[in-house]
Structure 1
Amino acid sequence: MTLPELDDSVRPVFVDFMTRVARFDELANMGNQLLSSFQQELGKFRRSPLQKESKVILGIIEANRNERLSAYLEAGCRLGHIDKVNISKLHVCQEALQEYMDKAKALIREFDCLMDDVIAIMQKAIENLSHFLDTISMDNLIVSAAGTDKVGTRCSMHHGLEVSDYFVMMRVVYNMYKLDYIMQENIVSSLSLRTSEEELESYCLMWDLRPYINDNIMQRCWRWSSK
């Protein structure tokens, strides 16, 4: 494999990597919706009881002292069948979020495999470069330095990027998305009926914000993958 061929071989891996990044982003949006649904259902489950200090509410209670209303008040202003529905929906949300985490984890593993592919390509490039330097004379090196070595020029200018450029960018993106995944995993594992409203609000904000993802770097990656 020649140096230009090595340069050609790494680009499809990079494009494949970015395709999986796009899938992860789609999944993250779905996860964000599921987390918001959990927040809403937990809010319903924790709905405030009747404000008996309100004169209007007190008037309604006094005017409707029937068995149904009395049972409702004795139960702490809660309806059992509604609570069961809320708990069931919360359970569904948690299960869906766990399924999301399984899919996200699978994508992280695929990132790992693609990183291994690029490392193998880089190792091959180093071997070829070493062999190339061992087989040419000093005179040829001088000619190459003067700019007449077309193979070397083609390798460095192909797509305006080299094998190492793709590798470094993939490594940076991989680290960002691995941290994003870990953040989401920590959020999902901490969810319960005891999770406070303030915590949930912060979780939703962080999931939506995705603080570990650098937009400028991602825009550059998408430009590279579309060349």
Structure 2
Amino acid sequence: MDEIVRSNCTDRMRSYLESGCSLHYQNISNLRHLHSCERELEDYINEANAVLKKLQRLVEDAYDATLTANLSAVKVPDYSTADSKMNHEYHFTEEKQEQPADELDRDSSLVTVMILVHNMLKLDYTMQEKIVRSLSLKSSSAEIESYRLMWDLRPYVDGSVMDLAWKSCP
């Protein structure tokens, strides 16, 4: 093989061998593709951040609504009104309070699940953002493989909580 290369060695062949048997245009193409992938990852991170912020607002709204409903259910009426109406309305209010209490419990549970899902997704997003920010041409194959594994495993997302959240959806 060495004899064939020596006998046919031209300037073009010599520069090809000196470059490590790679073509300049392929390197440029690979760098462009890598840059495009980096931009797509950045776009993904930006979209995930926007969705996470929307979810944060929804969780806050649901929490506020549930807190208001719970506080309204706990309020005790004025004593003078309560004493006069207590004997008359006792049987009606006892039956009516069971239904709203069940609904309040269900709503509180749903808000708790929403908060858990939001917190899990926020941790997952933070991990993904750190991975994307740390990627560079200097990243080793082992480092990239560990990032890929972390990305695929999603260690901050609990499957059972996500199943519960999906079951809670109408």
Q: Quickly name the TM-score band, shorter chain normalised.
A: 0.7 to 0.9
**Cα distance in structure 1, aligned partners of 2:146 and 2:138:** 15
Aligned partner of 1:212 in structure 2 is: 156
1:149 paired with 2:94, answer yes
- The residue type equivalent to 2:154 in the other structure is R
Contact 1:105 1:181 in 2 (8 A): yes
Aligned residues: 164
TM-score by length of 2: 0.84
Q: Deviations over 1:165-198 (max 9, x none)?
A: 0111111111100000000000000011001100
Residue 111 of structure 1: CA displacement?
1.1
Aligned partner of 1:134 in structure 2 is: 77
**Cα distance in structure 2, aligned partners of 1:83 and 1:125:** 62
Q: Deviations over 1:26-78 (max 9, x none)?
A: xxxxxxxxxxxxxxxxxxxxxxxxxxxxxxx6466346433332110122322
Aligned partner of 1:92 in structure 2 is: 36
TM-score by length of 1: 0.64
The one of 109, 114, 119 equivalent to 1:165 is 109
**Cα distance in structure 2, aligned partners of 1:101 and 1:220:** 26
List alignment gaps of at least 5 residues for structure 1. Answer: 1-56
**Cα distance in structure 2, aligned partners of 1:127 and 1:83:** 65
Q: Deviations over 1:121-140 (max 9, x none)?
A: 02321331133x32555957
- The residue type equivalent to 2:49 in the other structure is K
**Cα distance in structure 2, aligned partners of 1:90 and 1:58:** 35
1:71 paired with 2:15, answer yes
**Cα distance in structure 1, aligned partners of 2:74 and 2:164:** 31
List alignment gaps of at least 5 residues for structure 2. Answer: none
Q: Percent identity?
A: 34
Choose 210-219 or 122-131, whichever is displaced more: 122-131
- The residue type equivalent to 1:66 in the other structure is T
Aligned pairs for 1:49-60 (under 5 A) are 58=2
- The residue type equivalent to 1:134 in the other structure is P
